[in-house]
A = this chain, B = another copy of it.
């Protein structure tokens, strides 16, 4: 029986724009390069349904079969990201509308309103036909729905369907318009709406209410997710292969919600050397979304680019970048794309072979990556990434909330999380999960929740309290538990933090770089702090750090507090403390040192991801900063990529990858 095994390595491919001769050439090149997976048809609607109701799947089936003959599996895509001209021409109402009443036009992609039911019917018909056509096709590894679905224009579609939908969304949430007026405090500024049917969409040319704008983003997020869910659910009626949708690391759309109907997480990312560590965050997040291994469905082989090609990427970059998804428990890495385009919006994007069919400068590196993955397949498939015991909350609702109320000046919710709370742990060798508020807390010894403005999603408040009572150690704040589900404040400064934390907020202020507030730990060491200052009085808690004498009105108030609650502990951060204090605090909350990683000490630029399973124990090691590093290996291990046995302190060259298999 036909079978391709993970790890999957391959690329997106657009045979719809090529003749048979080039396709044959490409198949030979793919074989030679050693890839085993090709993604097809995501934008091919006009070839699949040249006229309304006339489907032509033959060409696609031919390619799928030709690939299978080369031992290459296929990921098939629904073509909904690019409705053809005949469809938008017949139904211009599917085109998304800007706040000013102008609809976008045919000519690019994603030119649809997710709430348009006519459009959804067309999609449903072609998807069903596609799925039926390929239902018997063994080499189809899985299905991708749409492509990088996202809020139209980044801010949502303002068409009449969306207006109606938004009003319905609010009615569902509030039932009575008086409740909405009260929740948003619309008495202020005489803003009250008389009925749901009259609530206005937040046009950018009127400076609308932040709660309205946050609700709008939630509605638009829900619309896009419903659009994706409908496709996934429908496809799953016709196939037993995994179905998902590929998403970028974009804000506003909750990856947990967007993947609820999906069988696995598909992830597209494009990074450069300076931003490769950003990908760590996203993989540490996405690996927690589903129990199944993720598929990295897009990354560039040698340079991002639309009509302009970005600069040369150094040797090794592609190797480290391609192994990242594997290190975080994934099982696929696909490049965008196989062959460069001869014309169009992305004719200068990186590819494995160029538009003339010639190998690009990373083709040999990719071939080596494919070989290496194949060599490690037994170990990779027979082990899984070990569970982390520390988690950091990341909330797509908080992203939306902060987008319309900064609360204080900062470079953005994600940036604060990434810079001050995630990277310090990674560089200290502490393994973490990034989790949605939805995520089960029981696996974790310690959960960190900075800027988690609202605890009222997914019953988090209840689950948190229970988990703490049972022994969890929670690090909360700053700016955590300060807003309700309507993006408004509670009657008191926090929802539960004062009560749980045994504290009372005395004063607050936004940080001012000209007047830094020093804080002192129990030994009296002066520490830096930033972003925000909450000054607490103790009502049962003890102070972990207090504001120093130079902190003016805040002098002597607690800046970080610890309180016992049941079998657990709560630390409230009134400010963003300097890195060393933060790491010390987290370390003190790790029940056993071994939980933090693989028992491996490494330089900050070296990632060690421990694995275990029937195939043994080991780890994937990646240098991700393009500079020399090191790691200390306690017990002897074989690097499966070289066959060398390693122990003790070893050098890890720039962008090096090792797959260590512990000797029993």
Contact = CB atoms under 8 A, between A and B. Distances in A.
Given A109-B189, A194-B85, A407 B308 contact: yes
A329 interface: no
Contact of A16 (B188, B210, B314): B188
Given A47-B187, A105-B203, A312-B533, A487 B407 contact: no
A343 interface: yes
A315 interface: yes
Contacts of A513: 311
Interface string A239-275: 0000000000000000000000000000000000100
A464 interface: no
B493 A206 contact: no
Interface in A87-118: 89, 98, 100, 102, 104-109, 111
Contact of A343 (B185, B344, B510): B185
Contact of A192 (B46, B313, B509): B46
A48 B354 CA distance: 61
B108 A189 contact: yes
A182 to B, nearest CB: 10
Contacts of A459: none
A378 interface: no
Nearest to A504: B358
A408 B349 CA distance: 10
A515 interface: yes
A198 B85 contact: yes
A45 B510 contact: no
Given A206-B107, A405-B307, A313 B344 contact: no
A603 to B, nearest CB: 21
A488 B209 contact: no
Interface in A159-189: 183-189
Given A82-B190, A361-B553, A487 B343 contact: yes
A134 interface: no
- Which of A44, A185, A490 is packed against the most chain B CB atoms within 10 Å? A185
Contacts of A315: 552-553
B85 A192 contact: yes
Contacts of A368: none
Nearest to A494: B356
Interface in A1-45: 14, 16-17, 43-45
Interface of A, secondary structure class, is loop
A614 to B, nearest CB: 39
A146 to B, nearest CB: 13
Size bin of chain A's contact surface: 35 or more
Given A108-B207, A187-B16, A406-B307, A85 B193 contact: yes
A234 interface: no
B405 A347 contact: yes
Nearest to A364: B553
A174 to B, nearest CB: 14
A205 to B, nearest CB: 6
A493 B209 contact: no
Contact of A111 (B111, B206, B355): B206
A318 B5 CA distance: 70
Contact of A345 (B207, B310, B364, B493): B207
A202 interface: yes
A203 B95 CA distance: 14
Contacts of A311: 408-409, 509-515
A188 B408 contact: no
A491 interface: yes
Contact of A187 (B46, B105, B273, B303): B46
A388 to B, nearest CB: 33
A397 interface: no
A211 interface: yes
A79 B208 contact: no
A486 interface: yes
A347 B210 contact: yes
A309 B409 CA distance: 7
A105 B206 CA distance: 6
B343 A192 contact: no
B190 A46 contact: yes
Contact of A211 (B102, B191, B343, B493): B343
A342 interface: yes
A405 B185 contact: no
A343 B184 contact: yes
Nearest to A305: B510
B347 A489 contact: yes
Given A314-B552, A405-B347, A508 B192 contact: no
B104 A206 contact: yes
Given A308-B406, A308-B409, 4 more contacts: A84-B190, A210-B344, A311-B513, A343-B489
19 contacts: A17-B185, A47-B187, A82-B190, A85-B192, A100-B102, A106-B200, A107-B209, A109-B189, A184-B343, A188-B341, A188-B344, A309-B509, A311-B409, A311-B511, A342-B488, A348-B407, A356-B490, A361-B554, A364-B553
Interface of A: 14, 16-17, 43-47, 79, 82-86, 89, 98, 100, 102, 104-109, 111, 183-194, 198, 200, 202-203, 205-212, 273, 302-303, 305, 307-315, 340-345, 347-348, 354-356, 358, 360-362, 364, 404-409, 486-493, 505-515, 517, 533, 552-554
